Structure 1
Amino acid sequence: MPLDAWLSLVVVTAVFPLMAFSRLGPDIVLLGAVILLLTLGVIDPGQALAGFSSTGLFTVAFMYVLVTSIRETGGIDLIIRHVLGCPRSEGRALMRLLLPVASLSGLINNTPVVATFIPAVLSWSRRVAIPAHRLLMPLSFASILGGTITLFGTSTNLVVHGLLIDRDPALTMGLFDIAWVGVPVALVGLVYLVLLGPRLLPARRGAEAVFENPREFTIEMEVDTDGPLVDRTVEEAGLRHLQELFLVEIEREGNIVSVVGPGERLKGGDRLVFAGTSEGAVELQQIRGLVPTRQGESNLEKDFKERRLVEAVVSDQCQFIGRRIRDGHFRTLYGAAVLAVCRGGERVAGNLGQIRLQPADVLLLEARPPFIERHRQSRDFLLISKVNGSARPVHEKAWLAWAILAGVVLLATLGVTSMMNAAMLGAALALATGCCTVGAAKRGLDTQVLLTIAASFGLGAALESSGAAAMLADIALGLADGSPWLLLGAVYVLVTLLTSLVTNNAAAVITFPVVMASAENLGVSPMPYVVAVMFAASASFLTPIGYQTNLMVFGPGGYRFTDFLRLGGFLNLLTAVVALALIPLIWPF
């Protein structure tokens, strides 16, 4: 085997554990691998940059703009308002939730669908008296199942299809071609979630219940009107560097001073809210000029226009992972104060500033109103939702945004134009009609996903041009004993395992050349194997880290790692059996 092939295999082999277990983002790991292969001469500049000109990549980018227009106009909120209702049983509640989620996820990226549904489901679960943890994991799984119905359903489907037509334009697929397999897979999966989901999920306590009583994690004091702290700054009063507590906000004459700075001057009668441990009350009582508050209601239970209480789910790409909140200067960086941290359905006890953040931690934050818009697309947070001060979405252009998406689907389905052109026209129309601003469109682009896709092309090119893909194909054929059925099963299992550890786009793009080479060496059609890659890359039910929507519900639902194995393990097996049985019937070998 040539040296280039060995170098390609070594680099690609090193990429997967780095993406799975290091704190580096998949885009950084993959871009680094491409740069290394380019430096070693395994690929040329054209191959390294080929992903940045891929039709699949641009289709995904334009679809992000369309999805942003629907979110900005409140289009998903409008659907939620009409479909959830007041079901009489848990089974009916699940059907009311899962069917529209799966349907929406067939047309738009499932991440914003789940992000919009989570706050609504938390509120709805209280109204219908169903524990939120029984709804949130099925919500994520339903969105994943819905993504298998159309090529628009996931970015992976679009990218794999782009790779396919770049290789052979005659193999192009229609928008709904995979629905022949996707619809049965989704229906079987949804029935499983409705019938067995409530029985397999143990009782869990979500973040909302943990944050329910502010008095468990806050202490309130007043500035004595005749005391020595009047007209002194927070720094001068010794309130800046407390050991167990930190000053979050000040209520003054019916108004609020949020995210308090060290130079803020105290006034007599100010009501100070501190976050931290109850042991910190002793520290406060030793400060002359502070007296216990005389008001009964907690300040955090009041609604002030100057501040928002926000729940944020920490991403695995957050720069604070493994760092202490105090050391990282969280408040300075984000303009928000951490009030409490929920992990595994329990509030993390102890000194708040000493807590080291982990992926899927749920943070209760106090922030100013612009915080949500400013950080909603931040890679540091998977989900940001308001606890109070929510404004009603404006729906005047929601139907227009949905109409534009319907037009894109119609153009692509009828073959009037390519999927990329249809998505491009839709994105331009969304901007021209004001359904989405240019700024919102830029924020809506998930650059990490786009860079991951683009860089994955370089690794795929290295495997193919160096001959490593052909060698791996020969090994796969030997293990499958020349059987197209065994090879199909092996492809599905391999991609499923990889996508449980790393991003599904990378798993699909890197294995694509090996799959194509295997089909060519076997002398059969590549179509069943390409479709198997699409479905296997979406079958991310085993772990919370396998798919972004799983990580989004992990913290708010108070789940444990084993809960995903319990509910998702059999669902993985069930969807694999249905998909592998149907794929060769629709696309024969």
Structure 2
Amino acid sequence: MITWVVLLSIVGLLVLLISGLVRPAIAFSTLAGCYVLLGLIDTQTLLVQYTNPALATLLLLLLISLALERSPLLDWISQRLLNGHPRLATAKLMGTGALLSAFLNNTAVVAAFLGAISRQRTIAPSRLLIPLSYASILGGITTLVGTSTNLVVNSFTLSSGGFELGMFQFSLVGVPVALITFIALLWRAQTLPHHQLEDTADKLAYFLAADIQQGSELIGKSIEANGLRSLEGLYLLEIERQGRLISPVGPEEILQAGDTLVFTGEVGKVQALQRFPGLKLFGNHANDLLATNLMEVVISHESELAGKTLQNVDFRSMFNAGVVGIRRGEKRLEGQLGKIPLRVGDCLLLAVGSDFRQHRNLDRNFHLLSGSFTRPRLNRIESGLTLAGFATVISLAAVDMLPLFHGLLLLLGGLLLGRVLSLAELRRRFPFELWLIIGSALALAQGLENSGAAALLAQGMQVLFSGHGIYAAFIGCYLLTLLLTETVTNNAAAALAFPVAWSTAQAFSADPLPFIMAVAYGASACFLIPYGYQTHLMVYSPGRYRISDFLKIGLPISLTYSAAVLIITPLIFPF
């Protein structure tokens, strides 16, 4: 009976993840807690999973990447790639993105190129951003540290099999698969839409501005007293007063003659302003001023804004900025902006206050596309030492002279001592949700084993593929992982698929390594829709894509990638 309860709980977990009703960290950790209460795992076993050495290595790598992503190297490279013939520029961008993603966090790589691609006018960004995102996946599958998914699989391998995967063990299959898929990607990139970026005039279409005339009853009264805070569909964003901007606008601000009020929201509801005497709509004479404090950002996968509305989080107080408009993919969202639930990947156009850059949570919440603000970068000495230290750690781990965990721990200590990173920054950017997901998933895998559910899955896989052989079972495990990664996040897909693959290998008395690799490569095979992979969400709105754009280019890429994985993996890692 308990076996079926466990299996049903996993199905329920999958349903919750697909629906998006519950954040993955909450779903995984809650179910792990239920397993403890049911006696499927004890408290000590649960706590051990959260201190898994491979999981700790993943966390250290992500923390160190905070310093690596501030290196000016990525900016310097991005400025030199986008020249020459468009196809040549695309190939250089993809190749460089893939190479960097083999060793650096691919989110940081895409974020570094995102701004440069969005600001240049030579090649339409929509022709470059999906190839960049896909190329970062292809680079990530070639090394242990190339993507968090490989490190997640390594965590499960250590927990279940008692051994760890090597730094370049993934390269034996990953490199040829990446090269084959790279050629197909370069070919299909020419079919992407040709969207040029909006210029300033387009962005200012979000605005609605009005002058306060001499003798208006609004003069001398506050925003609150004039009833300008509760307009239907419109929001008072900023005030132009004698050549300067007041942004954001507080409820106690007293209006003066000659003020220009700048509204945003449903511009079509201009009639809401007609009831204010002495308020005159005007044309575009303030455009130059309004354009000076505009900034375009993308909501990051780490952001606390995801799933919330601007009203819920009091955006204006958090960032000293007002949201002028929201765009999701190719759509410019309309309506009362404060009531629209935000998503990862949404593109926000902000009018920022003078101290916007001083807010410490910007890196966690946004990827910068355009604007005068630039994040603090490492100087040449700091950048050189950080990159050299990271290269040394990777090299020593590759030749088994120093365990990767030890090397990363020493490097993190050095970065803290050298004040390249701070404890406050580590606290802000600590990947807490990922730690909860993977630690809980390791506990769930142990619960599957203890309840007999894993053995039942193994028997089911054996019966299902008994007439087709072990290769068919291998294909089945890969396709299961691919399906999961297209419907839930890649790390969650690896966590759910690994126990099935491991049990299948045991049922066929086969070497588990090809099945482990099937999960690793399958969990990174997210090419069809933008919602399963964080870098796809990063480029979705800046490229003004539709979901059909991902399907059009992603289907042949997914088929090419999958065929290469399924053919090459058994040749390198025989059953």
Fold shared per TM-score above 0.5: yes
Which has the higher mean CA deviation after the structures are superposed, 174-183 or 473-482?
A: 473-482
Cα gap change, 1:34 to 1:210, in 2 (>3 Å): farther
**From 540, 543, 564, the counterpart of 2:526:** 540
2:171 is the counterpart of 1:188? no
User: How is 1:407-486 mapped onto 2 (pairs within 5 angstroms)?
Assistant: 407-481=392-466, 483-486=469-472
Q: Per the alignment, in what secondary structure is the counterpart of residue 69 of structure 2? A: helix
Q: How far is 1:360 from its partner?
A: 4.0
Q: Per the alignment, in what secondary structure is the counterpart of residue 295 of structure 2? A: strand
Give 1:107's aligned amino acid: F
Give 2:37's aligned amino acid: T
Cα gap change, 1:480 to 1:324, in 2 (>3 Å): same
Q: How far is 1:9 from its partner?
A: 0.8
2:72 is the counterpart of 1:86? no
Percent identity, please: 32
CA deviation string 1:85-137 (max 9, x = no partner): 412x221111121111111111022112212221211113x1x1x22111111
CA deviation string 1:38-85 (max 9, x = no partner): 11122211232232111121111111121100123434223323x414
2:510 is the counterpart of 1:524? yes
Aligned mates of 1:43, 1:135 — CA distance in 2: 48
Aligned mates of 2:355, 2:439 — CA distance in 1: 32
Aligned mates of 1:278, 1:509 — CA distance in 2: 46
**From 31, 47, 70, the counterpart of 1:49:** 47
Aligned mates of 2:339, 2:562 — CA distance in 1: 44
Cα gap change, 1:156 to 1:352, in 2 (>3 Å): closer
Give 2:477's aligned amino acid: V
Cα gap change, 1:573 to 1:165, in 2 (>3 Å): same
Q: Per the alignment, in what secondary structure is the counterpart of residue 250 of structure 1? A: strand
Is contact 2:298-2:345 (8 Å) kept? no
Partner of 1:561: 547
Q: How far is 1:351 from its partner?
A: 4.6
Is contact 1:55-1:162 (8 Å) kept? yes
Which has the higher mean CA deviation after the structures are superposed, 346-355 or 151-160?
A: 346-355
Is contact 1:244-1:351 (8 Å) kept? yes
Aligned mates of 1:331, 1:347 — CA distance in 2: 21
Is contact 1:84-1:97 (8 Å) kept? yes
User: How is 1:142-541 mapped onto 2 (pairs within 5 angstroms)?
Assistant: 142-169=135-162, 171-199=163-191, 201-203=192-194, 205=195, 208-209=197-198, 212-292=201-281, 296-298=285-287, 301-304=290-293, 309-313=295-299, 321=307, 329-332=314-317, 335-353=320-338, 355=340, 357=342, 360-368=345-353, 371=356, 373-378=359-364, 381=365, 383-391=366-374, 394=377, 395-396=379-380, 397-481=382-466, 483-541=469-527
Aligned mates of 1:315, 1:392 — CA distance in 2: 18
CA deviation string 1:208-234 (max 9, x = no partner): 428752442212223335544333211
Cα gap change, 1:426 to 1:357, in 2 (>3 Å): closer
Is contact 2:110-2:136 (8 Å) kept? yes
Q: How far is 1:300 from its partner?
A: 5.8
CA deviation string 1:419-470 (max 9, x = no partner): 2112212222222222222222233322221211111111111111212112
Which has the higher mean CA deviation after the structures are superposed, 475-484 or 520-529?
A: 475-484
Aligned mates of 2:427, 2:96 — CA distance in 1: 28
2:132 is the counterpart of 1:139? yes
Q: How far is 1:506 from its partner?
A: 2.3
CA deviation string 1:390-415 (max 9, x = no partner): 33754422222211211111121121
Q: How far is 1:349 from its partner?
A: 3.6
Cα gap change, 1:535 to 1:342, in 2 (>3 Å): same
Structure 1: which 5+ runs fail to align? none
Structure 2: which 5+ runs fail to align? none
Which has the higher mean CA deviation after the structures are superposed, 356-365 or 432-441?
A: 356-365
Aligned mates of 1:371, 1:501 — CA distance in 2: 36
CA deviation string 1:290-312 (max 9, x = no partner): 334587241564325xxx52323
Is contact 1:404-1:429 (8 Å) kept? no
Partner of 2:114: 118
Give 1:46's aligned amino acid: Q
Give 1:268's aligned amino acid: A
2:560 is the counterpart of 1:574? yes
Give 1:461's aligned amino acid: Q
Q: How far is 1:25 from its partner?
A: 0.9
Cα gap change, 1:461 to 1:586, in 2 (>3 Å): same
Give 1:560's aligned amino acid: R
Aligned mates of 1:377, 1:355 — CA distance in 2: 22
Cα gap change, 1:539 to 1:267, in 2 (>3 Å): same
Partner of 1:61: 59
Q: How far is 1:282 from its partner?
A: 3.6
Which has the higher mean CA deviation after the structures are superposed, 215-224 or 20-29?
A: 215-224
Give 1:181's aligned amino acid: V
Q: How far is 1:497 from its partner?
A: 0.6
Aligned mates of 1:159, 1:357 — CA distance in 2: 28
Cα gap change, 1:390 to 1:411, in 2 (>3 Å): same
- Taking only aligned residues, the RMSD between alpha carbons, in angstroms, comes to 2.6
Is contact 1:249-1:259 (8 Å) kept? yes
Give 2:562's aligned amino acid: A
Give the structure-2-normalised TM-score: 0.92
Q: How far is 1:573 from its partner?
A: 1.5
Q: Per the alignment, in what secondary structure is the counterpart of residue 209 of structure 1? A: coil
Aligned mates of 2:257, 2:263 — CA distance in 1: 17
Partner of 1:108: 104
Give 2:407's aligned amino acid: A
CA deviation string 1:330-350 (max 9, x = no partner): 445654322112234132244
Is contact 2:239-2:246 (8 Å) kept? yes
Aligned mates of 2:551, 2:535 — CA distance in 1: 16
Q: Per the alignment, in what secondary structure is the counterpart of residue 236 of structure 2? A: strand
Which has the higher mean CA deviation after the structures are superposed, 37-46 or 23-32?
A: 37-46
Q: Per the alignment, in what secondary structure is the counterpart of residue 246 of structure 2? A: strand
Give 2:133's aligned amino acid: S
Aligned residues: 571
Cα gap change, 1:213 to 1:511, in 2 (>3 Å): closer
Q: How far is 1:326 from its partner?
A: 5.4
Aligned mates of 1:314, 1:398 — CA distance in 2: 24
Aligned mates of 1:371, 1:4 — CA distance in 2: 54
Q: How far is 1:318 from its partner?
A: 6.2
